[in-house]
A = this chain, B = another copy of it.
Amino acid sequence: MVRALRDHGPSTQADLSRGTGLSAATVSNLVRLLLSEGVVETETTTSSGRRAVLVSLSRRAGDRFAVGIDIGRRHLRVLACTPARQILGERVRPLPVGHLAEDTIACASTMLDELLVEADLDRADIIGCGVGIPGPIDERTGQIAHGVILPEWVGLPLEDHLTTQLGLPVHVENDANLGAIAEIWWGEHGVSDLEERSGGENLVFVKIGSGIGAGLVMGGRLHRGHIGITGELGHVGVTEYGPVCRCGSRGCLETVASVSTMLDLMRPGDAGPEPTIDDLIRLAHAGDPATLRIVEDAGLAIGRVLGGVANLLGPRMIVLGGPVIPLGDLLVDSVKRGLARWSSPVVAGATDIVMSSLDGRAEALGACAQVLHEASDESWTPRRATRVPVAHR
Protein backbone atom coordinates (compact mmCIF):
# COMPACT_ATOMS: atom_id res chain seq x y z
CA MET A 1 0.00 0.00 0.00
CA VAL A 2 2.95 2.28 0.72
CA ARG A 3 4.10 1.48 -2.79
CA ALA A 4 0.68 2.40 -4.22
CA LEU A 5 0.87 5.74 -2.39
CA ARG A 6 4.38 6.35 -3.68
CA ASP A 7 3.42 5.49 -7.27
CA HIS A 8 0.06 7.22 -7.43
CA GLY A 9 0.26 9.91 -4.77
CA PRO A 10 -2.37 10.71 -2.17
CA SER A 11 -5.41 8.45 -2.60
CA THR A 12 -8.73 7.85 -0.93
CA GLN A 13 -9.20 4.62 1.01
CA ALA A 14 -11.69 3.49 -1.65
CA ASP A 15 -9.08 4.06 -4.40
CA LEU A 16 -6.46 2.18 -2.40
CA SER A 17 -8.85 -0.72 -2.05
CA ARG A 18 -9.56 -0.75 -5.79
CA GLY A 19 -5.88 -0.23 -6.69
CA THR A 20 -4.43 -2.92 -4.41
CA GLY A 21 -7.28 -5.41 -4.50
CA LEU A 22 -7.43 -5.39 -0.67
CA SER A 23 -10.81 -5.24 1.06
CA ALA A 24 -12.04 -1.90 2.40
CA ALA A 25 -11.75 -3.23 5.95
CA THR A 26 -8.13 -4.35 5.45
CA VAL A 27 -7.18 -0.99 3.92
CA SER A 28 -8.82 0.79 6.83
CA ASN A 29 -6.88 -1.33 9.37
CA LEU A 30 -3.60 -0.86 7.51
CA VAL A 31 -4.11 2.90 7.34
CA ARG A 32 -4.75 3.01 11.10
CA LEU A 33 -1.53 1.05 11.72
CA LEU A 34 0.60 3.20 9.39
CA LEU A 35 -0.94 6.34 10.88
CA SER A 36 0.08 5.30 14.39
CA GLU A 37 3.63 4.72 13.14
CA GLY A 38 3.74 8.14 11.43
CA VAL A 39 4.24 6.62 7.96
CA VAL A 40 1.07 8.16 6.50
CA GLU A 41 -1.15 11.14 7.18
CA THR A 42 -4.89 11.39 6.57
CA GLU A 43 -7.30 14.21 5.91
CA THR A 44 -10.96 14.46 5.10
CA THR A 45 -11.88 15.20 1.51
CA THR A 46 -14.75 14.59 -0.90
CA SER A 47 -14.72 12.07 -3.73
CA SER A 48 -17.60 11.88 -6.24
CA GLY A 49 -19.48 14.25 -3.92
CA ARG A 50 -19.12 12.02 -0.84
CA ARG A 51 -16.95 12.38 2.24
CA ALA A 52 -13.79 10.32 2.00
CA VAL A 53 -10.49 9.86 3.81
CA LEU A 54 -7.47 10.94 1.76
CA VAL A 55 -4.30 9.05 2.70
CA SER A 56 -0.83 10.36 1.88
CA LEU A 57 2.74 9.43 2.78
CA SER A 58 4.13 11.57 5.58
CA ARG A 59 6.85 13.92 4.54
CA ARG A 60 10.06 13.51 6.42
CA ALA A 61 12.74 16.13 6.92
CA GLY A 62 15.19 15.90 4.05
CA ASP A 63 12.68 14.51 1.54
CA ARG A 64 13.48 16.10 -1.77
CA PHE A 65 10.97 17.78 -4.06
CA ALA A 66 10.57 19.49 -7.43
CA VAL A 67 9.38 23.03 -8.11
CA GLY A 68 7.00 23.79 -10.98
CA ILE A 69 6.45 27.35 -12.20
CA ASP A 70 3.61 28.14 -14.61
CA ILE A 71 3.96 31.53 -16.30
CA GLY A 72 0.75 32.65 -18.00
CA ARG A 73 -0.21 35.81 -19.76
CA ARG A 74 -2.20 36.89 -16.69
CA HIS A 75 -1.07 34.60 -13.86
CA LEU A 76 1.94 33.06 -12.16
CA ARG A 77 1.78 29.78 -10.25
CA VAL A 78 4.55 28.20 -8.14
CA LEU A 79 4.14 24.70 -6.77
CA ALA A 80 6.29 22.16 -4.91
CA CYS A 81 5.77 18.43 -5.29
CA THR A 82 7.47 15.23 -4.06
CA PRO A 83 8.35 12.18 -6.16
CA ALA A 84 5.37 10.53 -4.35
CA ARG A 85 3.15 13.13 -6.11
CA GLN A 86 2.33 14.97 -2.92
CA ILE A 87 1.83 18.72 -3.32
CA LEU A 88 3.73 20.43 -0.50
CA GLY A 89 2.75 23.99 -1.21
CA GLU A 90 1.38 26.28 -3.89
CA ARG A 91 1.11 30.02 -4.56
CA VAL A 92 -0.79 31.78 -7.35
CA ARG A 93 -0.73 35.46 -8.28
CA PRO A 94 -2.31 37.48 -11.10
CA LEU A 95 0.08 39.17 -13.56
CA PRO A 96 -0.51 42.42 -15.44
CA VAL A 97 -0.96 42.00 -19.21
CA GLY A 98 2.32 42.82 -20.95
CA HIS A 99 4.44 41.85 -17.92
CA LEU A 100 8.18 41.96 -18.52
CA ALA A 101 10.33 38.87 -18.13
CA GLU A 102 12.61 40.49 -15.53
CA ASP A 103 9.72 41.49 -13.24
CA THR A 104 7.96 38.16 -13.59
CA ILE A 105 11.06 36.12 -12.89
CA ALA A 106 11.76 38.24 -9.80
CA CYS A 107 8.17 37.72 -8.69
CA ALA A 108 8.45 33.94 -9.17
CA SER A 109 11.61 33.97 -7.10
CA THR A 110 9.84 35.81 -4.25
CA MET A 111 6.84 33.49 -4.42
CA LEU A 112 9.13 30.47 -4.22
CA ASP A 113 10.80 31.91 -1.10
CA GLU A 114 7.40 32.54 0.48
CA LEU A 115 6.28 29.01 -0.36
CA LEU A 116 9.41 27.49 1.19
CA VAL A 117 8.82 29.42 4.43
CA GLU A 118 5.10 28.70 4.52
CA ALA A 119 5.49 24.96 3.94
CA ASP A 120 8.62 24.70 6.09
CA LEU A 121 10.78 23.44 3.20
CA ASP A 122 14.51 23.62 2.73
CA ARG A 123 15.83 25.17 -0.51
CA ALA A 124 18.65 22.60 -0.45
CA ASP A 125 16.07 19.83 -0.95
CA ILE A 126 14.91 21.18 -4.31
CA ILE A 127 15.70 18.63 -7.05
CA GLY A 128 15.14 21.09 -9.87
CA CYS A 129 12.71 23.56 -11.32
CA GLY A 130 10.47 23.20 -14.36
CA VAL A 131 9.02 26.33 -15.97
CA GLY A 132 6.07 26.46 -18.36
CA ILE A 133 5.81 29.27 -20.90
CA PRO A 134 2.72 30.06 -23.03
CA GLY A 135 4.66 30.16 -26.27
CA PRO A 136 6.55 27.90 -28.62
CA ILE A 137 10.26 27.48 -27.87
CA ASP A 138 12.49 27.21 -30.93
CA GLU A 139 14.99 24.44 -30.13
CA ARG A 140 17.40 25.86 -32.71
CA THR A 141 17.92 28.89 -30.45
CA GLY A 142 16.35 27.99 -27.07
CA GLN A 143 14.29 31.18 -27.30
CA ILE A 144 10.56 31.90 -27.40
CA ALA A 145 9.82 31.76 -31.10
CA HIS A 146 7.20 34.31 -31.97
CA GLY A 147 5.41 36.37 -29.44
CA VAL A 148 1.77 35.66 -29.97
CA ILE A 149 1.04 35.61 -26.25
CA LEU A 150 4.13 37.11 -24.67
CA PRO A 151 5.53 39.51 -27.30
CA GLU A 152 7.68 41.12 -24.60
CA TRP A 153 9.47 37.81 -24.03
CA VAL A 154 10.46 36.97 -27.62
CA GLY A 155 14.14 36.23 -28.15
CA LEU A 156 15.10 35.90 -24.47
CA PRO A 157 17.60 33.16 -23.52
CA LEU A 158 15.06 32.20 -20.90
CA GLU A 159 16.66 29.13 -19.37
CA ASP A 160 19.88 31.07 -18.63
CA HIS A 161 17.96 33.99 -17.13
CA LEU A 162 15.88 31.77 -14.89
CA THR A 163 18.77 29.58 -13.77
CA THR A 164 20.75 32.67 -12.71
CA GLN A 165 17.83 34.41 -11.01
CA LEU A 166 16.44 31.37 -9.15
CA GLY A 167 19.80 29.80 -8.39
CA LEU A 168 18.37 26.41 -9.42
CA PRO A 169 18.71 24.02 -12.35
CA VAL A 170 15.84 25.11 -14.61
CA HIS A 171 14.11 23.39 -17.52
CA VAL A 172 11.86 25.58 -19.67
CA GLU A 173 9.05 24.00 -21.70
CA ASN A 174 5.95 25.02 -23.62
CA ASP A 175 3.03 25.03 -21.18
CA ALA A 176 0.72 22.86 -23.29
CA ASN A 177 3.44 20.19 -23.51
CA LEU A 178 3.63 20.24 -19.70
CA GLY A 179 -0.15 19.97 -19.49
CA ALA A 180 -0.02 16.82 -21.63
CA ILE A 181 2.69 15.32 -19.41
CA ALA A 182 0.61 16.14 -16.32
CA GLU A 183 -2.51 14.51 -17.75
CA ILE A 184 -0.55 11.32 -18.31
CA TRP A 185 1.24 11.45 -14.96
CA TRP A 186 -1.57 12.75 -12.76
CA GLY A 187 -4.75 12.43 -14.78
CA GLU A 188 -7.42 9.79 -14.70
CA HIS A 189 -6.98 8.44 -18.20
CA GLY A 190 -4.79 5.33 -17.89
CA VAL A 191 -3.86 3.43 -21.03
CA SER A 192 -6.04 1.11 -23.12
CA ASP A 193 -5.19 -2.49 -24.04
CA LEU A 194 -4.64 -1.48 -27.67
CA GLU A 195 -2.31 1.32 -26.63
CA GLU A 196 -0.42 -0.93 -24.25
CA ARG A 197 0.30 -3.28 -27.15
CA SER A 198 1.26 -0.54 -29.57
CA GLY A 199 3.54 1.71 -27.54
CA GLY A 200 1.59 3.81 -25.05
CA GLU A 201 -0.89 6.60 -24.57
CA ASN A 202 -2.29 8.80 -27.32
CA LEU A 203 -3.45 11.96 -25.60
CA VAL A 204 -3.82 15.56 -26.73
CA PHE A 205 -3.91 18.32 -24.11
CA VAL A 206 -5.43 21.57 -25.40
CA LYS A 207 -4.80 24.72 -23.40
CA ILE A 208 -7.49 27.30 -24.09
CA GLY A 209 -6.45 30.66 -22.70
CA SER A 210 -5.33 33.93 -24.21
CA GLY A 211 -3.88 31.61 -26.84
CA ILE A 212 -4.74 28.07 -27.86
CA GLY A 213 -2.01 25.44 -27.96
CA ALA A 214 -1.75 21.70 -27.68
CA GLY A 215 0.67 19.20 -26.18
CA LEU A 216 0.81 15.85 -27.95
CA VAL A 217 1.61 12.54 -26.30
CA MET A 218 1.79 9.92 -29.02
CA GLY A 219 2.65 6.29 -28.47
CA GLY A 220 3.54 7.20 -24.88
CA ARG A 221 6.02 9.94 -25.79
CA LEU A 222 5.80 13.71 -25.91
CA HIS A 223 6.12 14.78 -29.54
CA ARG A 224 8.58 17.62 -30.02
CA GLY A 225 8.75 17.91 -33.81
CA HIS A 226 11.68 19.06 -35.86
CA ILE A 227 12.45 22.39 -34.13
CA GLY A 228 10.48 21.91 -30.92
CA ILE A 229 7.42 23.79 -32.17
CA THR A 230 4.30 21.62 -32.20
CA GLY A 231 0.63 21.82 -31.27
CA GLU A 232 0.18 25.32 -32.69
CA LEU A 233 -3.58 24.77 -32.93
CA GLY A 234 -4.35 28.43 -32.34
CA HIS A 235 -2.92 29.24 -35.75
CA VAL A 236 -4.82 26.71 -37.78
CA GLY A 237 -7.00 28.71 -40.18
CA VAL A 238 -10.76 28.37 -39.81
CA THR A 239 -12.08 31.29 -41.85
CA GLU A 240 -10.54 32.51 -45.08
CA TYR A 241 -11.12 36.24 -44.78
CA GLY A 242 -11.35 36.39 -40.96
CA PRO A 243 -9.44 38.77 -38.69
CA VAL A 244 -5.70 39.19 -39.21
CA CYS A 245 -3.79 37.31 -36.49
CA ARG A 246 -0.70 38.47 -34.63
CA CYS A 247 1.14 35.47 -36.07
CA GLY A 248 1.00 37.00 -39.54
CA SER A 249 -1.69 34.67 -40.85
CA ARG A 250 -5.43 35.32 -41.07
CA GLY A 251 -8.63 33.73 -39.75
CA CYS A 252 -6.66 31.62 -37.23
CA LEU A 253 -8.57 29.68 -34.56
CA GLU A 254 -7.29 32.10 -31.93
CA THR A 255 -8.99 35.00 -33.69
CA VAL A 256 -12.39 33.35 -33.19
CA ALA A 257 -12.10 31.13 -30.11
CA SER A 258 -9.47 32.24 -27.57
CA VAL A 259 -10.47 33.58 -24.16
CA SER A 260 -9.36 37.07 -25.28
CA THR A 261 -11.67 36.86 -28.29
CA MET A 262 -14.56 35.62 -26.17
CA LEU A 263 -14.09 38.52 -23.75
CA ASP A 264 -13.92 41.02 -26.64
CA LEU A 265 -17.17 39.61 -28.04
CA MET A 266 -18.88 40.27 -24.69
CA ARG A 267 -18.46 44.03 -25.31
CA PRO A 268 -20.10 44.81 -28.65
CA GLY A 269 -18.68 48.11 -29.89
CA ASP A 270 -16.12 48.13 -27.05
CA ALA A 271 -18.76 49.66 -24.77
CA GLY A 272 -18.91 49.12 -21.00
CA PRO A 273 -16.22 47.90 -18.60
CA GLU A 274 -13.74 45.24 -19.70
CA PRO A 275 -15.20 41.82 -18.77
CA THR A 276 -13.05 39.16 -17.12
CA ILE A 277 -12.94 35.39 -17.48
CA ASP A 278 -14.83 35.23 -14.17
CA ASP A 279 -17.64 37.32 -15.70
CA LEU A 280 -17.74 34.99 -18.71
CA ILE A 281 -17.97 31.90 -16.51
CA ARG A 282 -20.60 33.45 -14.21
CA LEU A 283 -22.82 34.70 -17.03
CA ALA A 284 -22.56 31.42 -18.95
CA HIS A 285 -23.63 29.40 -15.91
CA ALA A 286 -26.43 31.92 -15.27
CA GLY A 287 -27.74 31.12 -18.78
CA ASP A 288 -27.12 34.53 -20.39
CA PRO A 289 -28.02 33.84 -24.07
CA ALA A 290 -25.29 36.03 -25.66
CA THR A 291 -22.58 34.54 -23.42
CA LEU A 292 -23.79 31.01 -24.13
CA ARG A 293 -23.66 31.75 -27.88
CA ILE A 294 -20.10 33.08 -27.54
CA VAL A 295 -19.02 29.95 -25.66
CA GLU A 296 -20.84 27.67 -28.11
CA ASP A 297 -19.27 29.28 -31.18
CA ALA A 298 -15.81 29.07 -29.63
CA GLY A 299 -16.42 25.41 -28.78
CA LEU A 300 -17.64 24.58 -32.29
CA ALA A 301 -14.57 26.25 -33.85
CA ILE A 302 -12.19 24.47 -31.44
CA GLY A 303 -14.01 21.21 -32.16
CA ARG A 304 -13.65 21.78 -35.89
CA VAL A 305 -9.87 22.10 -35.60
CA LEU A 306 -9.76 19.15 -33.19
CA GLY A 307 -11.69 17.16 -35.81
CA GLY A 308 -8.69 17.62 -38.09
CA VAL A 309 -6.33 16.72 -35.24
CA ALA A 310 -8.31 13.55 -34.53
CA ASN A 311 -8.35 12.59 -38.23
CA LEU A 312 -4.60 13.06 -38.33
CA LEU A 313 -3.45 11.54 -35.03
CA GLY A 314 -6.19 9.20 -33.85
CA PRO A 315 -5.88 10.12 -30.16
CA ARG A 316 -7.84 8.19 -27.56
CA MET A 317 -8.30 11.19 -25.33
CA ILE A 318 -8.43 14.95 -25.83
CA VAL A 319 -8.23 16.91 -22.55
CA LEU A 320 -9.19 20.59 -22.46
CA GLY A 321 -7.47 22.83 -19.94
CA GLY A 322 -6.68 26.44 -19.08
CA PRO A 323 -8.85 29.16 -17.49
CA VAL A 324 -11.96 27.83 -19.30
CA ILE A 325 -12.06 24.73 -17.06
CA PRO A 326 -14.97 26.08 -14.90
CA LEU A 327 -17.15 26.29 -18.06
CA GLY A 328 -17.32 22.49 -17.90
CA ASP A 329 -19.85 20.87 -20.21
CA LEU A 330 -21.03 24.26 -21.50
CA LEU A 331 -17.81 24.25 -23.53
CA VAL A 332 -17.07 20.52 -23.82
CA ASP A 333 -20.46 19.73 -25.42
CA SER A 334 -19.99 22.19 -28.28
CA VAL A 335 -16.38 21.04 -28.81
CA LYS A 336 -17.75 17.49 -29.14
CA ARG A 337 -20.37 18.63 -31.66
CA GLY A 338 -17.71 20.50 -33.66
CA LEU A 339 -15.43 17.48 -33.70
CA ALA A 340 -18.23 15.13 -34.76
CA ARG A 341 -19.13 17.49 -37.61
CA TRP A 342 -15.55 17.89 -38.86
CA SER A 343 -13.99 14.45 -38.59
CA SER A 344 -14.53 10.98 -40.02
CA PRO A 345 -17.37 9.23 -38.17
CA VAL A 346 -15.15 6.27 -37.21
CA VAL A 347 -12.55 8.66 -35.80
CA ALA A 348 -15.11 10.79 -33.93
CA GLY A 349 -16.57 7.64 -32.38
CA ALA A 350 -13.17 6.55 -31.05
CA THR A 351 -12.12 9.90 -29.53
CA ASP A 352 -13.07 11.02 -26.01
CA ILE A 353 -13.10 14.70 -25.05
CA VAL A 354 -13.04 15.74 -21.39
CA MET A 355 -12.26 18.78 -19.31
CA SER A 356 -9.04 18.52 -17.29
CA SER A 357 -9.59 17.32 -13.73
CA LEU A 358 -6.36 19.01 -12.62
CA ASP A 359 -8.07 22.28 -11.79
CA GLY A 360 -5.67 24.65 -13.54
CA ARG A 361 -2.61 23.00 -12.04
CA ALA A 362 -1.81 20.86 -15.12
CA GLU A 363 1.04 23.07 -16.38
CA ALA A 364 2.78 23.44 -13.00
CA LEU A 365 2.29 19.75 -12.17
CA GLY A 366 3.71 18.81 -15.58
CA ALA A 367 6.72 21.02 -14.87
CA CYS A 368 7.30 19.10 -11.62
CA ALA A 369 6.73 15.76 -13.35
CA GLN A 370 9.37 16.55 -15.95
CA VAL A 371 11.96 17.43 -13.29
CA LEU A 372 11.12 14.32 -11.26
CA HIS A 373 11.24 12.16 -14.36
CA GLU A 374 14.65 13.45 -15.37
CA ALA A 375 15.94 12.86 -11.84
CA SER A 376 14.75 9.24 -11.86
CA ASP A 377 15.15 6.40 -14.30
CA GLU A 378 11.41 5.91 -14.55
CA SER A 379 9.30 6.87 -17.52
CA TRP A 380 6.80 9.62 -16.75
CA THR A 381 4.29 7.35 -18.39
CA PRO A 382 2.84 5.06 -15.76
CA ARG A 383 1.63 1.73 -17.04
CA ARG A 384 -2.09 1.37 -16.53
CA ALA A 385 -2.63 4.02 -13.88
CA THR A 386 -5.38 3.48 -11.36
CA ARG A 387 -7.76 6.39 -10.98
CA VAL A 388 -6.13 8.80 -8.59
CA PRO A 389 -7.69 12.00 -7.27
CA VAL A 390 -5.51 15.08 -7.31
CA ALA A 391 -4.51 15.98 -3.80
CA HIS A 392 -3.69 19.46 -2.68
CA ARG A 393 -3.52 21.21 0.58
Residues of A that sit less than 8 Å from B by CB: 136, 138-140, 145-146, 192, 194-195, 198-199, 202, 214, 216, 218-219, 221, 223-233, 235-237, 247-249, 304-305, 307-309, 311-316, 341-347, 350-351
Contact = CB atoms under 8 A, between A and B. Distances in A.
B232 A223 contact: no
Given A344-B146, A344-B249, A139 B227 contact: no
A312 to B, nearest CB: 6
Nearest to A225: B314
Given A346-B146, A347-B229, A236 B315 contact: no
A140 B194 contact: yes
A195 to B, nearest CB: 6
13 contacts: A139-B194, A202-B225, A219-B221, A225-B313, A226-B316, A226-B351, A227-B350, A229-B344, A231-B311, A232-B343, A249-B344, A305-B308, A308-B308
Contact of A223 (B218, B247, B249, B304): B218
Most buried by B among A198, A247, A341, A346: A346
Contact of A345 (B195, B223, B248, B351): B248
A275 to B, nearest CB: 28
B146 A345 contact: yes
A202 B227 CA distance: 10
Nearest to A251: B342
B237 A314 contact: no
B226 A315 contact: yes
Contact of A314 (B146, B198, B230): B230
Contacts of A195: 226
Contacts of A307: 236-237
A27 B387 CA distance: 62
A311 B233 contact: yes
Nearest to A247: B344
Most buried by B among A198, A225, A226: A226
A230 B346 contact: no
Contact of A346 (B219, B229, B311, B341): B229
A348 to B, nearest CB: 9
Nearest to A341: B249
A304 B237 CA distance: 8
Nearest to A248: B345
Contacts of A233: 311-312
A233 B216 CA distance: 18
A350 B351 CA distance: 30
Contacts of A138: 346
A122 B1 CA distance: 60
A204 to B, nearest CB: 9
Contacts of A192: 226
- Closest CB pairs A-B (n = 8): A225-B314, A226-B316, A232-B311, A236-B308, A230-B314, A235-B344, A202-B226, A237-B342
Contacts of A219: 221, 223-224
Given A236-B311, A308-B236, A314-B227, A145 B194 contact: no
A308 to B, nearest CB: 4
A250 B156 CA distance: 44
A214 B219 CA distance: 17
Most buried by B among A195, A233, A308, A315: A308
A307 to B, nearest CB: 7
Nearest to A226: B316
Contacts of A194: 139-140, 226-228
